[in-house]
């Protein structure tokens, strides 16, 4: 089956597209000795996949030629995950992968792939260390590319930072024609936060080529939620069959605690953008409120405790407080390292503005917030988005 016609919109090749596509064709030879990728993985039962990009700075991702990570699971069930494992900083994807590895049946195999050899080696090493202590979890293989993962997988999960990355990966999977049939219908679950238009474009490419079902299922909960397995998923999927919805939720709940069916494909990312718009604004308001209170002589911990039992309570105040020392373990208490990068928050805000323009929705605060995040990203690239507080504090008169 030819898929080129359905992918005409996805074949526009910008610089990022060429870079990402070329990365997909590379296979790090040094890590193949972790274990050779098996071309004879059993096809009975479920086969799962996960695709994404390492969690470096978004701008760095665009420039990098080492951006893709894949991994998968096999035997009765095969999981394939691409782009989620990163050595440079804590990432939700890496911990989502670890949760999957821990929760799949002992006889199943996890297949991983990334051009970032250090990240791949780290994941393989951690799997073996876990196996030494528990006796299970050492079935980790290294796969050569996204297409071969998809061929072996009845569930393919992707997590990528930008719309073009998602289009490129799905192009690399579908452009070579029909994927081999499996006992179960193939499901593609994209956990990326991208714009609704791009999501619908990819969903259409999957559906019109009869390659399976596409589900958009972005996540909320950040690195902490990924580590603890408490992520929330908001997903868009056809509700024509209850069996599909149940199957999708059973997959998502291996990595998180809640899964909300929002409607048809595209509604998952729409819900995520609405949520992250609130997050972007609340983060700024929290930073301003804490800065105001402290400059008025208030103890930051006492102030935060009061607000967290009052109407100002919100996630940036309670969980991700921007003042160092207020919340132990929050990025602010480790020099704003880790967490949700300011570049990713800025990217999501850009997607919010694009969705608002497409839907004709007025947003009173979005442009103001975008200007602020642009300034802060330029100065604190790579830091958690709660670094807004540090920037505000530094702007305050002595």
Annotated domain spans of the chain: 8-264, 271-395
Report helix, strand or coil for 226: helix
Global pTM value: 0.80
Contact 233, 258 (CB under 8 A): yes
Give pLDDT, residue 64. 41
Q: 374-385 burial, b for 16+ CB within 10 Å, e for fewer?
A: eebbeebbbbbb
Q: Please list the rounded mean pLDDT of every run of 10 residues in the chain (398 residues).
A: 39 39 39 43 49 47 40 45 47 78 75 71 85 74 80 82 90 91 89 94 94 95 84 91 90 94 96 98 99 98 99 97 96 94 95 96 98 98 97 91
Instruction: Please tell me the distance from the alpha carbon of residue 114 to that of residue 52, in angstroms, as a whole number.
Output: 9
User: Looking at domain 8-264, does it have CATH number 3.40.50.720?
Assistant: yes
Domains 8-264 and 271-395 share a fold: no
Q: 11-42 burial, b for 16+ CB within 10 Å, e for fewer?
A: eeeeebbebbbebbeeebeebbebbebeeebe
Catalytic residue among 152, 272, 347, 390: 272
* DSSP secondary structure letter of residue 136: -
Give pLDDT, residue 225. 85
Instruction: Please tell me the distance from the alpha carbon of residue 171 to that of residue 59, in angstroms, as a whole number.
Output: 22
Query: In 10 A of CB 314, how many CB atoms?
Result: 18
Active site residue 272: yes
Sign of CA dihedral 125, 159, 348, 170: positive
User: 271-395 architecture in CATH?
Assistant: Orthogonal Bundle (1.10)
Structure tokens at 303: 């102030």
């Amino acid at each position: 089956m030819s898929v080129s016609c359905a992918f005409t919109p996805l074949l526009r090749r910008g610089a990022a597209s060429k870079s990402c596509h070329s990365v997909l064709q590379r296979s790090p030879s040094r890590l193949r000795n972790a274990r050779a990728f098996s071309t004879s993985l059993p096809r009975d039962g479920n086969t799962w996949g996960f695709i994404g990009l390492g969690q470096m700075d978004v701008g760095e991702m665009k420039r990098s030629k080492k951006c893709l990570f894949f991994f998968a699971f096999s035997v009765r069930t095969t999981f394939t995950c691409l782009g989620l494992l990163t050595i440079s900083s804590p990432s939700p994807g890496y911990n989502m992968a670890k949760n999957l590895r821990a929760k799949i049946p002992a006889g199943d195999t996890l297949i991983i792939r990334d051009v970032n050899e250090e990240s791949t080696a780290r994941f393989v090493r951690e799997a073996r260390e876990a196996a030494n202590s528990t006796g299970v979890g050492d079935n980790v293989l290294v796969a050569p590319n996204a297409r071969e993962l998809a061929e072996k997988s009845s569930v393919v999960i992707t997590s990528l930072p930008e719309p073009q990355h998602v289009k490129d990966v799905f192009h690399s999977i579908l452009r070579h024609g029909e994927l081999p049939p499996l006992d179960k219908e193939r499901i593609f679950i994209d956990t990326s936060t991208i714009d609704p238009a791009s999501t619908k474009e990819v969903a259409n490419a999957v559906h019109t080529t009869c390659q399976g079902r596409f589900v958009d299922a972005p996540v909320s909960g950040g690195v902490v939620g990924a580590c603890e397995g408490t992520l929330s998923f908001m997903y868009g999927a056809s509700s024509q069959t209850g069996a599909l919805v149940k199957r999708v939720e059973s997959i998502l709940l291996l990595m998180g605690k809640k899964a909300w069916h929002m409607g048809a494909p595209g509604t998952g990312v729409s819900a995520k953008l609405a949520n992250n718009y609130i997050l972007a604004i609340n983060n700024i308001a929290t930073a301003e409120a804490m800065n105001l209170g402290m400059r008025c002589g208030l103890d930051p911990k006492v102030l935060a405790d009061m607000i967290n039992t009052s109407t100002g309570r919100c996630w940036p105040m309670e969980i991700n407080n921007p003042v160092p020392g207020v919340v132990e373990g929050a990025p602010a208490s480790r020099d704003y390292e880790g967490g949700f990068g300011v570049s990713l928050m800025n990217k999501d805000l850009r997607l919010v503005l694009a969705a608002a323009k497409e839907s004709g929705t007025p947003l009173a605060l979005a442009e103001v917030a975008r200007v602020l995040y642009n300034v802060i990203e330029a100065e604190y690239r790579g830091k958690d988005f709660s670094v807004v507080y540090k920037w505000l504090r530094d702007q305050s008169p002595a």
